[in-house]
Amino acid sequence: MSTIQVQSPGMFTTVQDLGRYGYGPLGVSPSGAGDPLALRVGNLLVGNLESAAALEMTLLGGTFVFPEGAIVALAGADFSATVDGSPLAPWTACELSPGATLRTGGAQSGARCYLCVRGGIEVKPLLGSASTHILTGLGGFAGRPLKRGDVLRIGRSAGTPRVIRPAELAKLAPRKILRATDGPQTGWFSRASLDRFFGGAYQVTGESNRMGLRLEGPALETPHSGQMISEGVSLGAIQVPAGGKPIILFVEQQTTGGYPKIANVISADLPSIGQLRPRDEIRFEHVEPAAARALIRQQEEFLISGALFQ
């Protein structure tokens, strides 16, 4: 059994896969990778199924020792990684010899980097997923971010590593202009608020995490003082509580909520949210549901076409 020893965990590193679906009636949100595109591509690079569990590092990465060696790839934001002192390019599968040390630094841009290992990170699945749900301490590795001294098990895999085509990868680059459709309460907002929302720039604040991203920018009038009957909320919903500062609900979102939602980030742009960091400036561009549907289908077709790989 191969292992990973955590020499330093980095700022906030958790085990994530593509999330836990079907437990909405019990209040369980899917969780999973903040940038699932990066996780999926990283897994394919090392020859895993795209849904395998990996380590999600946030803003500042960790240092990991591989006593038995491994095949690894880093995907997502560039965390200036080195292996035993030599640079390791992101989006590249690399065979580590036994005892190798992989060190990652701070994010050059973006927020999240996935350390994918051939065979995947092996943890006991909880409700069908390896994802960590931080708020409740469920799933992943002991339900918490990694700590120094943790030892993770690497699973088995028979897949073949692949090589990326950088020019094709650029087509999946994270966006700072997030496209959004109407939300359930868009019609409650005044024309002026909608114009401010879609015309203005918002800054991601430090009070942002896997549950949601709080934004600072043109204040919006909160219709009905933000009071409404609680209802199910979607991933990427942009809710406007009293005070008028929008919040984007993210992967570890609450499953229901009682604030009006002005818009909803489209499926194709949800992975981009996972690469936003505090002080990033973002904008919203309105699209119709039919356009959103076409965009996610294009993205998915591109991903499964194999065009990304040599």
Partner 1 sequence: MTRFCYASDQSLLVYLGEEVNLETHRRVLKLLRLLEAEPIPGVRNLHPAYHSILIVFDPVRQEHENIERTVAACIRRLDSIALPEPRLVEIPVIYDGPDLNDVASIHQTTPERVIELHSSAEYVVYFVGFVPGFAYLGGLPQELATPRLESPRQRVPKGSVAIGGSHTGVYPFETPGGWRLIGRTTLEIFDPEREELSRLVIGDRVRFVPVA
Please report, as ranges, the residues that interact with partner 1 according to CB under 8 A.
21-28, 30, 126-127, 133, 135-139, 181-184, 229-237, 254-257, 261, 264-267, 289, 292-293, 296-297, 300
Nearer to partner 1, 146 or 266 (CB): 266
Nearer to partner 1, 107 or 233 (CB): 233
Nearer to partner 1, 10 or 236 (CB): 236
CB of 181 to partner 1, least distance (A): 5
- Cα 237 to Cα 241: distance, rounded to the nearest angstrom: 12
The per-residue DSSP string of the chain comes to --EEEEEE--SS-EEE-S---S-GGGT------SSHHHHHHHHHHTT--TT--EEEEESB--EEEETT-EEEEEEES----EETTEE--TTB-EEEPTTEEEE--B-SSSSEEEEEETT-EE---BTTB---BTTTTBSTTTTS---TT-EEEE--------BB-HHHHGGG---SEEEEEE-TTGGGS-HHHHHHHHHS-EEEEEEE-SSEEEEESS----GGGG----EE--TTEEE--TTS--EEE-TT--SEE-S-EEEEE-GGGHHHHTT--TT-EEEEEE--HHHHHHHHHHHHHHHHHTTTB-
Nearer to partner 1, 104 or 186 (CB): 186
Nearer to partner 1, 153 or 293 (CB): 293
CB of 28 to partner 1, least distance (A): 5
Nearer to partner 1, 100 or 237 (CB): 237
CB of 310 to partner 1, least distance (A): 25
Angle between helices 36-45 and 289-305 (to 10 degrees): 10
CB of 128 to partner 1, least distance (A): 11
CB of 102 to partner 1, least distance (A): 31
CB of 111 to partner 1, least distance (A): 22
CB of 295 to partner 1, least distance (A): 8
Nearer to partner 1, 63 or 272 (CB): 272
- Cα 48 to Cα 41: distance, rounded to the nearest angstrom: 10
